[in-house]
Amino acid sequence: MDMREIARELVAGCREGRETANLEKLYAPDAVSVEAVDMGEQGRETRGLEGIRGKHQWWESNFEVLKNDVSDPMPHGDDRFAVIFEVKTKNRESGDVDDMKEVGVYHVADGKIVREEFFYPTG
């Protein structure tokens, strides 16, 4: 797959609830995921497909997604693209409902996502 095909499939998977299923298809085994803030024990960076899969499992076990808007991919050259996510979530433990907006920047090499970086308000 080229970068544009990967971008389209990532967005389709996010819109259709296939994010976890797409990990094996779209991500390199040694991909890196970087958050905007320190996430406790794991820090800001998660390395490897298994670690990224763990992040997805953590998210799904802690949050119910009430609304999920995912932009079309925005290419930047032949090796990167960005996506804007606007999500309304309900914390499964507390019941708190929050609106979240973040930008994901995805780096592609050799037909796979090798790095993802997330930008969101932290204050």
CA proximity to 46, closest of 33, 63, 29, 60 = 33
- 85-95 residues labelled b (16+ CB within 10 A) or e (exposed): bebebeeeeee
Q: What's the average model confidence in pLDDT over 47-55?
A: 95
Question: Which domains are delineated in the chain?
Answer: 3-119 (3.10.450.50)
Q: In terms of C-beta density within 10 A (0-12 exposed, 13-18 middle, 19 or more buried), how is residue 96 classed?
A: exposed
Q: What pLDDT, on the 0 to 100 scale, is given for residue 73?
A: 98
Q: What does pLDDT average to over the chain?
A: 95
Quick one: tokens of 5?
């095909």
Q: What's the average model confidence in pLDDT over 53-60?
A: 92
Q: What pLDDT, on the 0 to 100 scale, is given for residue 122?
A: 83
pTM for the structure as a whole: 0.93
